[in-house]
Amino acid sequence: MLRLSILLSLSILVAMATACNSGRHSSAGFRLPDGGDVEKGKAAFVALQCHTCHKVEGVELPQPTAQPPVPVTLGGQVTEVMTDGYLVTSIINPSYELALYPKEQITVNGKSRMPDYADKITARQLTDVVAFLQSHYSVRRIPNKYTY
């Protein structure tokens, strides 16, 4: 009986945990179209003038000109996988989740200094820009201090 009670409790906990990711705003099922082109993404990044605010780690682009400078450098080593959904959201709705920088450097009146691109970017450009950015991120795992 105790074993059944524990099993039932675990089942309920698993169901509750998975339910947190359901609904309209869930990232479950989100997929960009296949075939994002890194070179076309770089060209779109420049054409959309993203380079006027952002540097991309390891990429030669015209120098940012935004004043005051934007501290958000894209690409490089991260400790967690940078998901396509996160990058898409950051591009089309940048005020949704602000980067972890001093707010006075990245916001104006509580909103991101970055304009949203929802009406300025095509699905193909978005797919290519995400492919371009993804090609410049690498995950650096933090060693577990308990691993022997």
Q: Tell me the three-class secondary structure of 40-77, residue by residue.
A: HHHHHHHHCCHHHCCCECCCCCCCCCCCCCCCCCECEE
User: In 3D, which of 13, 21, 140 has the Cα closest to residue 75?
Assistant: 140
User: How far apart are the C-alpha atoms of 57 and 38, rounded to whole Å?
Assistant: 14
Residues in contact with 133: Cβ distance below 8 Å, sequence separation at least 6, in sequence order: 41, 45, 56, 74, 75, 82, 87
- The pLDDT of residue 9: 47
- The pLDDT of residue 7: 45
Q: What does DSSP say about strands 111-112 and 107-108: parallel, antiparallel, or unpaired?
A: antiparallel
If you classify domain 35-139 with CATH, what class do you get?
A: mainly alpha
Cis bond leading into 62, ω under 30°?
A: no
pLDDT digits (tens, 9 = 90+) for 63-121: 999 998 998 999 999 998 989 999 999 999 999 988 888 888 899 999 999 999 999 99
* Axis crossing angle, helix 84-92 with helix 123-134, rounded to the nearest 10: 120
Q: Cβ–Cβ contacts within 10 Å for residue 38, how many?
A: 15
- The pLDDT of residue 98: 87
Backbone dihedral region for residue 146 (phi beyond 0: left; psi -120 to 50: alpha; all else: beta): alpha
Domain spans in the chain, listed from the N-terminal domain onward:
35-139
- The pLDDT of residue 14: 46
Single-letter code of the amino acid located at 106: I
pLDDT digits (tens, 9 = 90+) for 39-65: 999 999 999 999 999 999 999 999 999
pLDDT digits (tens, 9 = 90+) for 5-29: 454 444 444 444 444 555 666 667 7
pTM: 0.77
